[in-house]
Amino acid sequence: MRRSKYKNCLDQYHCLFTDTPILFRDRVAKECGWSIPTYYRKMRLRDKLNADGQVDPALSNAEKDMIKRVAKEMKGWFGGRLDRIAGKE
């Protein structure tokens, strides 16, 4: 997120919405111990059926839990940022 003074609320909202996916990606990659290429590879994976008819999950339960935790934290951060921008108008 840029630290300089914003010209108007449109610029603030735009920066928030464009920076959030990058911040989410970086947090998930860090918490899961992944590189950025691994993050994108994992994002493309799908659950598959194996030869026994069992589902082989693309992500482990620990990875899923970590992603959910990061998403919840980011949701709170995002809401706080929206409130601050709205309060400046």
> How many angstroms separate the CA atoms of 13 and 38, rounded?
29
User: Residue 1, CB half-sphere, CA atoms under 13 Å: how many?
Assistant: 16
> How many angstroms separate the CA atoms of 52 and 60, rounded?
19
Each residue's pLDDT, cut to its tens digit, for the chain (89 residues) gives: 555 565 788 999 999 999 999 999 999 999 999 999 999 999 998 888 888 888 888 899 999 999 999 999 999 999 999 999 888 65
CB contact at 8 A, 55 and 49: yes
Domain boundaries, the chain: 9-88
> How many angstroms separate the CA atoms of 75 and 22, rounded?
14
The pTM of this model reads: 0.80
